[in-house]
C-alpha cells in the first residue's frame, strides 16, 4: 500500500521496521515498559499482564505493543499504530515509539 494512504503501520519481520529482540524475559520487559509509559501523558492507557499487551491512546493514535518470546529467555517487542484520520502519518509515529523503546532497552537489544 502507498504510505500516503496508510492508516495502520506495524513492525514486521519482512518489513523495514523489524520487531525488537531484547535479552530480558517477557515479565521484566513488560514491567519496564509499563513503568516507562505510565509516566507519560496519554489520553488512556491499558496494560494486560496476562498477555503482555500494552494499549495506548495518544490523542487519536492507537498504539499497541505486544510482547512475545523467542522460545528462550529473550523477548520480542512488536508494535503497531492505527489512526483512521491520520493518513500517511502512522509510520512516522511508529518510528517515534520504536526509537523510544529502542532507547529504553539499548543495553539489552540482541
Region of poorest pLDDT, from 24-28, 45-49, 68-72, 104-108? 68-72
Q: What are the pLDDT digits (tens) for 6-16? A: 788 999 988 88
Calculate mean pLDDT across residues 20-38. 95
CB 26 within 8 Å of CB 34: no
* Per-residue model confidence (pLDDT) at position 88: 81
Domain borders along the chain are 3-104
Return the CATH class of domain 3-104: alpha beta
Grade residue 4 by pLDDT with cuts at 50, 70 and 90.
Answer: low
* Per-residue model confidence (pLDDT) at position 1: 46
Amino acid at each position: 500500500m502507498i504510505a500516503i494512504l496508510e492508516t495502520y503501520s506495524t513492525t514486521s519481520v519482512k518489513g523495514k521496521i523489524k520487531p525488537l529482540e531484547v535479552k530480558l524475559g517477557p515479565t521484566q520487559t513488560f514491567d519496564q515498559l509499563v513503568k516507562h509509559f505510565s509516566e507519560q501523558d496519554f489520553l488512556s492507557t491499558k496494560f494486560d499482564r496476562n498477555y503482555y499487551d500494552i494499549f495506548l491512546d495518544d490523542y487519536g493514535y492507537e498504539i499497541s505493543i505486544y510482547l512475545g518470546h523467542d522460545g528462550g529467555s529473550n523477548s520480542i517487542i512488536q508494535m503497531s499504530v492505527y489512526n483512521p484520520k491520520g493518513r500517511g502519518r502512522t509510520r512516522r509515529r511508529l518510528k517515534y515509539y520504536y526509537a523510544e523503546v529502542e532507547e529504553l532497552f539499548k543495553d539489552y537489544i540482541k
